[in-house]
Amino acid sequence: MKKNLPFYVLISLFSLMLFSFNTLQNKPWPVPAKFDKMANPVKSDAESIKTGKALWTKHCASCHGKTGLGDGTKAAQLDTQVDDLTTPEMQKQSDGSLFYKTLEGRDDMPSFSKKIPDEEDLWNLVNFMRSLKGK
């Protein structure tokens, strides 16, 4: 039994490390109530979605993928898991929540407050994200 003790300790530490990594990957992303309740002032029409798609292609697709699956070319290089925006869990978030997360960023997700300073463009991006569901 003593001979195997280092092996068991090593396995235990490895399991703890994996558990910690998984916990960090899926940590909650709280959104202030002000943003969570915020309504999208931009009508989701063809023009808005087209504008949002152009912004997505330029700023988001490299990590989130062309269709929002989280499979962009840079996704594997990141320390945090890139969310699949087509899932029901992601799509049930409020428009204000998606706006806030895009605006502020967190961890590997950068803030776009300076890269996309026009709030209307951020709302167009939210409208495009909504078009990704079920694809």
Q: One digit per residue, pLDDT tens: the chain, 135 residues?
A: 556 655 554 455 454 444 444 434 568 899 999 999 999 999 999 999 999 999 999 999 999 999 999 999 999 999 988 989 999 999 999 999 999 999 999 999 999 999 999 999 999 999 999 999 865
The reply to whether 96 falls in a domain is: yes
DSSP state of 42: S
89 three-state secondary structure: helix
Question: Is the residue at 124 inside a domain?
Answer: yes
Q: Is 4 within a domain?
A: no
What is residue 27's predicted lDDT score, i.e. its pLDDT?
A: 80
The residue with tokens 């776009």 is 112
Provide the domain limits for residue 84.
30-131
Total domains in the fold of the chain? 1
Note whether 56 and 121 are within 8 A (CB).
no
pTM comes to: 0.79
Q: What are phi and psi of 109, to 5 degrees?
A: -80, 110
Cα–Cα distance, 73 to 62 (Å, whole number): 5
Nearest partner of 70 among 79, 82, 81, judged by Cα: 82
Give me the CATH number covering residue 101: 1.10.760.10
The answer to whether residue 7 is domain-embedded is no
Judge whether 87 lies within some domain: yes
